[in-house]
Chains A and B, each alone.
Chain A
């Protein structure tokens, strides 16, 4: 099973390492032609404005909407979560508009407010060490979205069918449980199609 990591900008190598540790084959994706051979894709943390611009420039907007319509799972972390959302607070343009949720960028403040903490995530036994870096928050979700975890009553992990989004960085730790969770999603999606 092959899972891609969108490699336009951001923490790509860390996701590849984590996916491999969770038992998947992982590749960096720079061109839309690479999507065909993949069963799932991670949109990593980075700067969402930069990633969004490069996605538009290189045809990833349509290609990823189609990728998702085939039922192939997507996992967005931090900037990746922003890229997946239907709406971004204070901005007219959103990016992929795949997940029925409204997100707020830099919701905790600036870098000095960035932090790490333990987080209980539904579906994962042990608490996850979550690193929040100028992190976004999910302010509102539609009926199809399951909330998997909250931090101080704010939503930080959400799933909508084959789409998974977290506002923190599981790829910066040696805890691979969220990547394993996503790898299971990809396996299930591939099995249901076969």
Chain B
């Protein structure tokens, strides 16, 4: 009997496929998310748009919030640790959190090194905006990936950019010869073996979800159309006018992402989605996606 194997960790993410993982800030929101059909919840103290508004240093949530959420739902509970913050991750693991997001939404604790995730029994998800980041995170032990997008903006453009880039890079790698692969591994800054695996299979060895800026059911369906395995929704749900309805609509649009009549139906009378931010108006220091490359 073996726990914490790559298959057990990556398999957990496989079970989330086609699903929606929702940010929640308390037990009540967690129940709303579960009732709406979320496949997991991400327990946080503040959603990304509030983190953005508040400024200052964003850290791991108060364990009380995480515990409270773990008590009320039967679906998996994820929580965020700062990039490179080994101890925050160990604390979350000790509490029995099901998945850790080593997340650029929080202020990085280490500007160079990520957490060595292979040492943990519980799996990690990390953000990636290109194939180099994706394979580096997998090498460090990430069992699941997600686009970084630009969290808390309600603007899907960055998540689209990241997913298109990764998928385009995968297609390019598929067509390379062996000698070109050695060079490409050097250019991308990734281990050759992982790149060879992508070359042979034409896909990443772990699940890749969309995240960062999903604000409507159509946004979720667009990311599925572009090849995401599932969707994280952060500020989008509980910053909208009617979270319950909104959450259900996003779940259905994700499952039936090619059924446009159905998406039209579930999108009716949802009220105002979160206001959103034009990305080009963000100062460099406010761009979360540039953290932890």
Contact = CB atoms under 8 A, between A and B. Distances in A.
Residue in A7, A169, A173 whose Cβ sees the most chain B Cβ within 10 Å: A169
A115 to B, nearest CB: 5
Given A9-B17, A47-B40, A54-B37, A112 B4 contact: yes
B8 A116 contact: yes
Nearest to A151: B1
B67 to A, nearest CB: 12
A13 to B, nearest CB: 8
How would you classify the secondary structure of chain B's contact residues: helix, strand, loop or mixed?
A: loop
Interface string A156-183: 0000000000000100110000000000
Interface stretch (B46-54, B93-101, B192-200): B93-101
A8 B252 CA distance: 9
Q: For the side of the interface on B, what is the size category? A: 35 or more
Given A57-B252, A110-B98, A112-B4, A46 B19 contact: yes
Nearest to A113: B3
Contacts of B1: 115-117
B74 A105 contact: yes
Given A111-B98, A111-B123, A49 B15 contact: no
Interface in A3-62: 7-14, 30, 45-47, 49-50, 53-54, 57
A71 to B, nearest CB: 29
A59 to B, nearest CB: 13
Given A12-B17, A111-B76, A111-B98, A131 B122 contact: no
Contacts of A99: none
Interface of A: 7-14, 30, 45-47, 49-50, 53-54, 57, 78-79, 105-106, 109-117, 131-134, 169, 172-173
Given A30-B256, A113-B3, A132-B8, 19 more contacts: A8-B255, A9-B17, A10-B15, A46-B17, A46-B19, A49-B37, A53-B251, A54-B251, A54-B252, A111-B98, A112-B122, A114-B3, A114-B11, A116-B1, A116-B5, A117-B2, A131-B8, A134-B12, A172-B7
Interface of B: 1-5, 7-8, 11-12, 14-19, 34, 37-40, 74-76, 93, 96-99, 121-123, 251-252, 255-256, 259
